[in-house]
Amino acid sequence: MTALRIVLGDQLTRGMSSLRDHQPGDTVLMMEVLEEATYVKHHKQKLVLIFSAMRHFAEELRRGGLSVDYIHLDDPANTGSFTAEVRRAVRRHRPSRVVVTEPGEWRVMEMMKGWGAEILPDDRFFATPASFAAWASGRRQLRMEFFYRDMRRLSGLLMDGGEPVGGQWNFDHDNRKSLPKDVMPPKRQRFEPDAITVEVMAMVQQRFPGHFGDLEPFGWAVTRADALEALDHFIDSCLPDFGGYQDAMKQGNAFLYHSVISPYLNIGLLGPREICDRAQEAWSKGHAPLNAVEGFIRQILGWREYVRGLYWLKMPDYAGTNFLDARRPLPSFYWTGRTDMNCLAQAIGDTRAHAYAHHIQRLMVTGNFALLAGLDPAEVEQWYLRVYADAFEWVELPNTHGMALFADGGVMASKPYAASGAYIDRMSDYCSGCRFRPEVKLGPRACPFNYLYWDFLIRNEGKLRANPRMGMPYRTLARMEPERKADIRRHAATFLSSL
């Protein structure tokens, strides 16, 4: 009985279910395929990260004595698709069984069903799709906060018996500070490309020159050892201030106090439990305060698990909903970054340079604009899937479709995350470098977020006014003079038609 054990590019963990009962004589199959590199035109750094991490992982398996059949992208016999490569490998190896771990994306799951393989669960998460479905069953609303509390109880993280440590589940009210001018976040650790990465970079430059984003400088970790070093750096130098400055934005500093580990988690170089344990330990040793550690653990134990559960619960129909009937095409500045709106130019510039932007840039700058301007959800989702090193549909889609765009009509978020220029001004230093003014509501110097915000509320009144969490803005709107409303609508129409 020999097995062919398939490992995909986001399954780079020695403890993967597909590798767990490996026997001598088994073969591990890893495939670089054109279809995966181009189903969306990923950022160049994401391609390098995945191909280089795959090659390093294959080396690690070989050093551990496993036999790896590794198909390079440039192999002349490479057919370019998972399904055809699995068929070719079965002809080569004649295994008695084919074993694979379930994929992160619906699209790949549909393909995988045709591989004649035993599909094992991906148990790198705290929750399973089935346990999430059981939690969701019979609930009218699927609020992350209640799921998170159950996950705290189940995992025992930050618990004191049956109660949350510190007497509260959530310390977010301490976590909304902007960054004072004299506070300098730590410099980010980079990992110099080794020979394998340099070779992959040349291949990506040659094969995918039209893909979005700067290829250099490339500083991502591509091995577990380096990803662990990045985690150490975060825990030692950034975690204590993570909470306070979690929502802050600063021109020229994409990373602030964020962990910048999402790509490592999503491709398997790090696991969620070890990360949460390290954060909890930092709190118990007095190195980091509870508001920071709770806020950080909530992102991984709460949000990350919740979006995965939601994705598998709601797909494939989820992606097709468009509650606000948003139809406007994605403006070209999402690719070029060329816009007079400095916040957008900065968030898109960071994205192009690093294949990274932090959560508030994604949600409250590029996401907020897409929501207010009524951009087509499918086009916006394609953009998020293409431009970030951590983007895989299971995590990208609920965040974009549900959280940022409210395209699911409130399955994920209890209200749209819509904000005017005042929010961006409060949380960033972007407005001081902008030709628009956040305090000006109408006229040529007005921040477009201001009139777009009210235009959004007016446009969607029929769908949103009954939402109890939208009561305040709709009461303000009801008090607004008709002429002012008409002015807002005119400004918005002129602006939107110029996109």
Residues near ligand FAD, by CB under 6 A: 258-262, 265-266, 299-300, 303-304, 307, 358-359, 362-363, 367, 384, 388, 390-391, 395-396, 399-400, 403-404
Closer residue to ligand DLZ, CB minimum distance, 265 or 324: 265
What's the DSSP call for residue 469? G
* Comparison of 111 and 183: residue with beta carbon closer to ligand DLZ: 111
Region binding ligand SF4 by CB under 6 A among candidate stretches 61-69, 97-105, 339-347, 491-499: 339-347
Per rule CB under 6 A, is residue 313 in the interface with ligand DLZ?
no
Q: Which amino acid is at 161?
A: G
Order of strands across the sheet that contains 3-6: 67-71, 27-31, 3-6, 97-101, 118-120
When asked if residue 457 is in the footprint of ligand DLZ (CB under 6 A), the reply is: no
Is residue 373 close enough to count as binding ligand SF4 by CB under 6 A? no
Does residue 421 touch ligand SF4 according to CB under 6 A?
Answer: yes
**CB–CB of 324/311 below 8 Å?**
no
Q: Which does 342 bind (CB under 5 to 8 A by kind): ligand DLZ, ligand FAD, ligand SF4, none?
A: ligand SF4
Ramachandran area for residue 186 (φ above 0: left; ψ -120 to 50: alpha; else beta): beta
Out of 257, 318, 356, 392, name the contact with ligand DLZ by CB under 6 A. Answer: 392
One of 5, 22, 42, 43 touching ligand DLZ (CB under 6 A): 42
Smallest distance, Å, CB 217 to ligand DLZ?
Answer: 20
8 binds ligand DLZ (CB under 6 A): yes
Q: How far apart are CA 29 and CA 60, in angstroms?
A: 14
Residue 341 binds ligand SF4 (CB under 6 A):
yes
Neighbouring C-beta atoms of residue 248, cutoff 10 Å: 24
- Whichever of 104 and 243 has its CB closer to ligand DLZ, that residue is 104
Contact 33, 85 (CB under 8 A): yes
Which of 103, 289, 349, 402 forms a contact with ligand DLZ (CB under 6 A)?
103
Segment lying near ligand SF4 (by CB under 6 A), choices 165-173, 275-283, 338-346, 476-484 = 338-346
| Among 28, 37, 269, 464, contact with ligand DLZ (rule: CB under 6 A) | 37
Q: Give the CA distances from residue 213 to residues 193, 233, 335, 337, in Å, rounded to whole numbers and listed in that order.
A: 17, 26, 9, 11
* Nearest residue (CB) to ligand DLZ, 36 versus 350: 36
Q: Distance between CA 259 and CA 297 in Å, rounded? A: 11
Q: Which is nearer to ligand DLZ, 34 or 198 (CB)?
A: 34
Q: Which is nearer to ligand FAD, 220 or 430 (CB)?
A: 220
Total of chain residues touching ligand DLZ, rule CB under 6 A: 16
Q: Alpha-carbon distance 215 to 202, whole Å?
A: 10
Query: Judged by CB, which is closer to ligand DLZ: 10, or 305?
Result: 10
Stretch that binds ligand DLZ, among 30-38, 285-293, 373-381, 460-468 (CB under 6 A): 30-38
| Helix residue ranges per DSSP H, 187-223 | 195-207
* Cβ count near 276 (within 10 Å): 21
Residue 117 vs 413, nearer CB to ligand DLZ:
117
CB 248 within 8 A of CB 256: yes
Contacted by 227, from ligand FAD, ligand DLZ, ligand SF4, none: CB < 5 to 8 Å by type: none
What does 106-158 look like in DSSP terms, one character per residue? HHHHHHHTTTT-EEE----SSS-HHHHHHHHTT-S---HHHHHHHHHHHH-TT
Burial class of residue 81, CB neighbours in 10 A (0-12, 13-18, 19+): middle
Q: Are 259 and 246 in contact (CB under 8 A)?
A: no
Binding interface with ligand SF4 (CB under 6 A): 341-343, 421, 424-425, 430-431, 434, 436-438, 447-449
